[in-house]
Structure 1
């Protein structure tokens, strides 16, 4: 056979049709390219349908005629689409078996191969059993497809099919998808069945489109969708997932920041409310104290009043004495007067002596009191007093001790007690100051504890002020970025035992401010202009990017933030963690021990790590809170001790203040004088008694009765004065009772206040200061009403709590949290979430996002863009090869050339592609470069977004869509050449001129499926072939097909034999015989 000399083509040599439409059992010889001809309806297209069904599984039959009623079932049953029982050539209910088998010759293998499909239809309604098979090294006659017995055709079922006498295994029969793929591979094709089917059917249908661009794109080039798109999408999906996580975390962070503002407002209002609540209780203690003081003043007034009443009483008493004196005047006789004078003298002496004794008794009482006071002071105030002075000092009332000796002891006592008093006064000042300092420190610690319990870390005020100022400036500039301390960004110390040593070494560097590198310079400007001399901004954009060194202090710190990580590495990579002094000695430039031993710059020192506050790690607040509570307890004990000291000193001072040390106020000889005067008084009283018992004196007394009436009147006045004194004393007693009751009320009020003070000790100083201002302004002790207190409570508990809960619920919706976690009780919980989210999670998500963005860009540039460039390069080379061949074959006066032009809307890709030329045509080289080409970076992002956001992914993933296509036609007219684009000649060209380019395009399309360097099938099908082409164009077309080693099967009516048949290898005629069609062969090309 002539075609056997074509070494790169597996040639179809014969076609067997059994029970296919009007063909019962026909073998068609295919001598290279073959023309199948016959009248309309004879079955030309049916044969083409059979071969395309076998090769590709196509079931859109007779596409050229657009006959939609044809199907595999109709072909197998022989459906004539007529009415009545004779509609089906092979019966309605009889089982039918059909075969389509093609025989191919492989010049490389030097053997024949059979490719076939067997169909089994149990009735006229179904034909589901369709199985493909491939038989190597066999011809049609080697298999028992069918036999004729007694004039009847018997078709072999697939389970009885033998080749060379051997039964074909059931596993050799494949369903359509697997079977057609296996068949194409056997015939040397690597194209997928779907693509090959589309190209074959386009050629067979031959339906020229007005859109030449789309026709060339669809028919010439392989679809060639980018295989890396799946990976790019996967990377994009991962990127979007991480981005969604980052955005969700960012939204959560913003919501928690919004919550923090409301919480701070809540805490401020709550603080104000608690200040007022403490004030409400404190003012009761003040008011009751004032009532108590008023009662004391009233009692003092009554005491002064009593003196006046007593003075009145003295006047009444004098009047009363005057009445008695009248009685005495009545006794005017001389005897009475002499006796009375003697009696009066004795009485007067006794009265004077009694008065003197009374005064002496008072002096003795004063001395006795002095003895008692000194006795109480001996143990603590007079430890150095000698024994004799001690004895005398406690016996001033003893008449046996000389006055001079007593006075000497008194002066010794006075000297030492004065010195002790001065010492106590100095100690009171000193300890009082210490108590105030301890109280202030305790208040600050209480504030710190309250903040820590609310999950709020406290930092140095100067650093906080600088941080706040930078945040404010950023907000005014519209910069949305975090401003944080280095300490906030260290999420974990992997080995906690080193924490204090590392933090002590870093010191205030822990509070250096970290911002995103691109905003670093702005932060520096803000700090410079603020004149804050205590804060520091890290120059993050200049930090070297290094790895944490193993064994260094940097290596045990977890720092998600990239800039904080760089700074920690810069500070601590050179600090080696040493287990002992010997190891430290080996690192003189930088070594650190757990106990604070430090080697730095060839010098050793001990750092005091005991008082270092912990700031690193997510548990820093917990640790600080523990230390703060411990410090609070120490302060409480120390303060209680100092206050007890202060109390004792005040008691001692009060005791000393009560002691009168003025020697002029003491009469040391009073005891001795009292003893002498008492003896004299007894002698006078005996003389007076003797005088009164004289009988002459009795008569004189009777005269006194007359004056009794006057005495009685004076006595009633005296009694009235005495009654007034009693009333005064009763009122005084009432005030004393009132003072007692007020003392009880004051104790209750003080207990209520002290309970609040213990709960909010940190607010005491502020409350007292504010209370004094309000008291001075209002002029009264009650400055807070219960109504106002309730208003403040309602404002806190209703409005602010409602706002807080709304934001907490909104955050839970974002983060998928438990919405029951809302209200003030969860403030600490949400602050903990924010610290973890802002300083750890979002940093990790940002790092993952940047890493995934790199992977996405890498997948895009190194895979996607590189693959497109590779396919475009191959397509351009293929187009150049086709055009090179087309230049050699003129079609009449015309030659053809494919045109590919870059689409304007794909210029972003071509800019990227062209710029890659400077990077060795390798995207990876660019990805590893400095990437300082802003336009390139913008184009990469724009192009990637276009691809991944496109609704029709093939618009960007199919490289063919990056060009517009046309065909340039060069026409010779005499000596001149005229060039025109096919798209512009659609309306003016003849039918032949229109069809020729399309056939060229279709042939070029098929060439993509038939590799030149492999031996493969090179079939093509043209139905209703060359209907409008001239003889000359037909010859050129056939020549084009043959020179490209195509084996074309043409279908055309008989009138085309003359114009087509003379240019091809053989012609097969179809002849109808009754209801069936037969094949007439033998019309072979004549030279």
Structure 2
């Protein structure tokens, strides 16, 4: 017989067996009443051989333990519950006959229990070439049984060494290897227990799953769930960030609404101020016009006064004639002649006084002009002295004219130069004002935390984004610069940014939309924009020591683009190192080596725009630039004001020498001298006493003269009233001009504060004036107030959106209001360009890890388990084919379950990748159906509440058994599942035993000498005597050594067909074994 047979069993202090040795001859029936210990013996043997602790599985008794067996737990109450107390030592040992070695062997386990609570310690040992009697397990001294401690155990008198004792795992492994088995301990244990605890089933599918196939140990699902949890956590983070981004976009929209309304308010306030200024200036013109009319009226009155004075003179002439008699006629004419000469001399003197006054005024103006032009047009002392004597008598007229004319020519040349400078300065001021307005607008945006890019780039970005949205594509278009999170070494910032230049403003878009964006670029003729071909960028690592290493970029496409631009540019410390990198090198101060040529770059004009601190740096740069422009503007305005002042002074002087009487001083002196002589002669005549006549005529003449005098007086009064009105208007003009000055100052302050809005405001004003037929007043205070209300309403909406974001992101709710616009823009930039990119990358990586764990671990493990199961089934089918039961042979059938079609479809496609999930995961993964199946199946198993539904590979199939019966020359095939209802109990149970036996045979190599044990508890409970005989013969013919446990009534039906029977007899609290007759 090609079998290692068990010949003896020893139980020392195991349950109710105190020291029982049982002789075994082939298959053995253990019988006895309930509670006598039949299952206890089977539990002892399975513990010894496999380390099994699922005791009495046939009765499903879960209360039995190694501790209970060692101490003899009777399950009773009180102190007598345990048969043994104190320190207990137990032994289970079996002796086997090895026909190949021609010698016996002993396998055993020593169990030490120090007390009633501590876990017992078990030590296995294997002793080849040894019999049970050669080992000192026990000894008797009178009526006392002594149990040998493990450290005193001897074989043929020689003590066993410590390394002879093994733990459970190594010990049981050593036992089954010694017994010739070639399978794992756990697998062997499972097959033994399934047969020992056999219960007939009506469901063949369930029976094959539970009793034939080993449970799948798929532990990867827990890891898969952890990966899924991590994925879900990252997805939650990504979703929260996406929600935050969406809310921040709402905030940005409302911030822009607020800024637009605020801009409108500032424009209206400026416009209102400018409108008032225009109205005041218009009022000034009207009052000036009215004053001019009055001045014209005054001139008319003055002319009338002259006429009245002529009438008055005629009346006075009559009075003169009447008053003069004939006697005095001749003398009167002489007096009149003298008076006329005196009057003429007075007129002449007044003329010369006026002309002299003109020269004095000219002298004063030339003096002031000389002071004003002293730097631009210096005058020597001699010329200065001559110019100061134009009204004097120290120079002759020709000299005066020559000096004046020569100086006038110099001034005219200087005035021409001033005119040229004025035009140049005005052009510069206007151009610079436009630049300053743009800088001011840029500063306001930067202060609001908006990174400023070239307007043509922003326009292109907006247009591409809108066109893609029109096509149903919701994706973002980025500018490369805004995707750079950080400049890791600020010392290299200017050099790297200068090298990148305009490439910093190239557009970045998701690679899958690159083609569509290219079409938009072409169709819309966006000549100033450049789109990076992100779908063609190679994936490369950052080269150590290159300029790419300076940039921290979370975005995948931007990172690839930066690598393509900068990996070839080595950062060099000095010119010597730069010389070693002729193909691409860069120094901090901007020396660039490229394509075997080197040149310095101008770093001064580079506007910084990379990294999270770009806004701050741009703001500092722009403010500094504006300060420089303001200084230049002030300088040019001062220069222009001086030029205009000089030109006003020049224009105020009449430079035509012919318009002046340079001899006025001498002529005036002569005229005064002549007048004095004539007045003396007239006075001499008037002193003559002969003048006294003509009274009556004189009286009439006086009346006429009185009327003429009255008319002159009334006209004079009108002239005075007109003069007063003129004075009133002059005072009014002074008030208006003061208001204009204040309003102008206010307007200029507003313009200076919002310089960028001046041009749009003026355009808006002219537009409104056209609508109102040229009216100066185009808006009211109510319009400004309404605009202010709109701004406050926008503030409320903005705060509401900010508050919602605070709740979403768990920020301090006090961080809201227009003062936090810059904060939320920074938050958006960090979130949209950094955090969400990082979260997206982590989510993508985790998705890959999840799918990798799913495919490489879970799917691969299930697939491997299924393939192992199929191989085992095929092997069992081969065994079943060789061991017919009567005229019947049996065969397992496995069919894929329809609800697992996705899994099997995945597995079949994996065959194209050498059935390797790892090979598929490393491929291009362009099979859309496969990708869909992976995601769907993964979602199915991760959402399944019953974990074993998908982790147990056995549930992927439905099972049955084909029974092939020979009836003469004909084979009839039937499925066992279809016979369940019509077959007898014996017919139902028999196939199951055959299945279990065939399964167990897989552990016993056919062509090797090995133990072929089998255990059947409560054996053949439903089988007829005929079926029992058939089953026992079946086991014996297939070389099994079976240990049966059955009640006494089965002795006749089982014991009659096996080699030995052992009866278990209870004596008091212990059990003894009585060996029956050995069948010859």
TM bin (shorter chain): 0.7 to 0.9
Distance 1:413 1:130 in 2: 128
Structure 1 equivalent of residue 357 of structure 2: 365
Structural mapping, 1:1025-1044, within 5 Å: 1025-1031=1019-1025, 1033-1038=1027-1032, 1041=1035
Structure 2 equivalent of residue 113 of structure 1: 108
- Cα deviation for residue 659 of structure 1 reads 1.2
Q: Please point out which of 568, 575, 580 is paired with 1:574.
A: 568
Q: Please point out which of 264, 269, 275 is paired with 1:277.
A: 269
Pair 194,602 (structure 1): closer, same or farther in 2 beyond 3 Å: closer
- Cα deviation for residue 665 of structure 1 reads 2.7
- Cα deviation for residue 72 of structure 1 reads 11
Mean alpha-carbon deviation: is it higher for 963-972 or for 843-852? 843-852
Pair 859,336 (structure 1): closer, same or farther in 2 beyond 3 Å: same
Structure 2 equivalent of residue 1083 of structure 1: 1076
Pair 1012,669 (structure 1): closer, same or farther in 2 beyond 3 Å: farther
8 A contact 1:517–1:540 mirrored in 2: yes
Alignment partner of 2:323: what SS? coil
Structural mapping, 1:517-536, within 5 Å: 517-536=511-530
8 A contact 1:180–1:193 mirrored in 2: no
Task: Say whether residues 1:601 and 2:574 are aligned partners.
Answer: no
Pair 1014,462 (structure 1): closer, same or farther in 2 beyond 3 Å: farther
Aligned residues: 1057
Pair 59,470 (structure 1): closer, same or farther in 2 beyond 3 Å: same
Structural mapping, 1:12-161, within 5 Å: 13-15=9-11, 20=16, 31-38=25-32, 44=38, 64=59, 102-105=92-95, 110-114=105-109, 131=120, 133-134=122-123, 136=125, 142=136
Structural mapping, 1:864-943, within 5 Å: 864-943=858-937
Task: Say whether residues 1:795 and 2:790 are aligned partners.
Answer: yes
8 A contact 2:8–2:96 mirrored in 1: no
Alignment partner of 1:696: what SS? coil
Structure 2 equivalent of residue 1050 of structure 1: 1044
Distance 1:863 1:667 in 2: 118
Structure 2 equivalent of residue 377 of structure 1: 369
Structure 2 equivalent of residue 665 of structure 1: 659
- Cα deviation for residue 676 of structure 1 reads 1.9
Structure 1 equivalent of residue 771 of structure 2: 777
Structure 2 equivalent of residue 817 of structure 1: 811
Structure 1 equivalent of residue 534 of structure 2: 540
Task: Say whether residues 1:251 and 2:243 are aligned partners.
Answer: yes
Structure 1 equivalent of residue 296 of structure 2: 304
Q: Please point out which of 345, 351, 356 is paired with 1:353.
A: 345
Q: Please point out which of 597, 602, 622 is paired with 2:616.
A: 622
Mean alpha-carbon deviation: is it higher for 237-246 or for 640-649? 237-246
Distance 2:747 2:3 in 1: 113
8 A contact 1:226–1:864 mirrored in 2: yes
Q: Please point out which of 413, 423, 432 is paired with 2:426.
A: 432
8 A contact 1:77–1:90 mirrored in 2: no
Alignment partner of 2:599: what SS? strand
- Cα deviation for residue 900 of structure 1 reads 2.1
- Cα deviation for residue 828 of structure 1 reads 1.3
Alignment partner of 2:963: what SS? strand
8 A contact 2:608–2:617 mirrored in 1: yes
Mean alpha-carbon deviation: is it higher for 457-466 or for 42-51? 42-51
Mean alpha-carbon deviation: is it higher for 742-751 or for 501-510? 742-751
Deviations 1:312-351, CA, capped at 9 Å, x for gaps = 5445545554554453343252023333222211111111
Deviations 1:722-781, CA, capped at 9 Å, x for gaps = 344444444444333333444444444344434433332221221222123324434544
Distance 2:441 2:1006 in 1: 87
Pair 1072,424 (structure 1): closer, same or farther in 2 beyond 3 Å: closer
- Cα deviation for residue 578 of structure 1 reads 3.2
Alignment partner of 1:334: what SS? coil
Structure 2, unpaired ranges of 5+: 99-103
Structure 1 equivalent of residue 202 of structure 2: 210
Distance 1:148 1:258 in 2: 98
Structure 1 equivalent of residue 631 of structure 2: 637
Distance 1:751 1:139 in 2: 122
Q: Please point out which of 334, 359, 375 is paired with 2:326.
A: 334
- Cα deviation for residue 1061 of structure 1 reads 1.5
Structure 1, unpaired ranges of 5+: 82-86, 122-127
Structural mapping, 1:391-402, within 5 Å: 391-402=385-396
Pair 656,10 (structure 1): closer, same or farther in 2 beyond 3 Å: farther
Structure 1 equivalent of residue 101 of structure 2: none
Deviations 1:193-241, CA, capped at 9 Å, x for gaps = 9998876665445333333222211221221222444444444444444
Distance 1:1014 1:742 in 2: 127
Structure 1 equivalent of residue 762 of structure 2: 768
Q: Please point out which of 952, 956, 959 is paired with 1:962.
A: 956
8 A contact 1:10–1:1018 mirrored in 2: no
Structural mapping, 1:821-836, within 5 Å: 821-836=815-830
Distance 1:344 1:1015 in 2: 180
Distance 2:148 2:260 in 1: 91
Alignment partner of 1:110: what SS? strand
Task: Say whether residues 1:492 and 2:492 are aligned partners.
Answer: no
Structural mapping, 1:843-862, within 5 Å: 843-862=837-856
Pair 847,80 (structure 1): closer, same or farther in 2 beyond 3 Å: closer
Deviations 1:27-63, CA, capped at 9 Å, x for gaps = 6655554323346676656766787899878688685
- Cα deviation for residue 649 of structure 1 reads 0.9
Distance 1:89 1:627 in 2: 93
TM-score, with length taken from structure 1: 0.86
8 A contact 1:302–1:731 mirrored in 2: yes
Distance 1:1040 1:746 in 2: 126
Distance 2:254 2:998 in 1: 72
Pair 160,668 (structure 1): closer, same or farther in 2 beyond 3 Å: closer
8 A contact 2:20–2:1073 mirrored in 1: no
Deviations 1:603-644, CA, capped at 9 Å, x for gaps = 333332221212222222222111111110100000000000
Distance 1:708 1:30 in 2: 185
Distance 1:407 1:430 in 2: 35
Deviations 1:849-875, CA, capped at 9 Å, x for gaps = 444444334433333333333322322
Mean alpha-carbon deviation: is it higher for 493-502 or for 356-365? 493-502
Alignment partner of 2:880: what SS? helix
Distance 1:373 1:711 in 2: 46
Distance 1:875 1:248 in 2: 46
Structure 1 equivalent of residue 648 of structure 2: 654
8 A contact 2:324–2:332 mirrored in 1: no
Distance 1:676 1:516 in 2: 102
Structure 2 equivalent of residue 226 of structure 1: 218
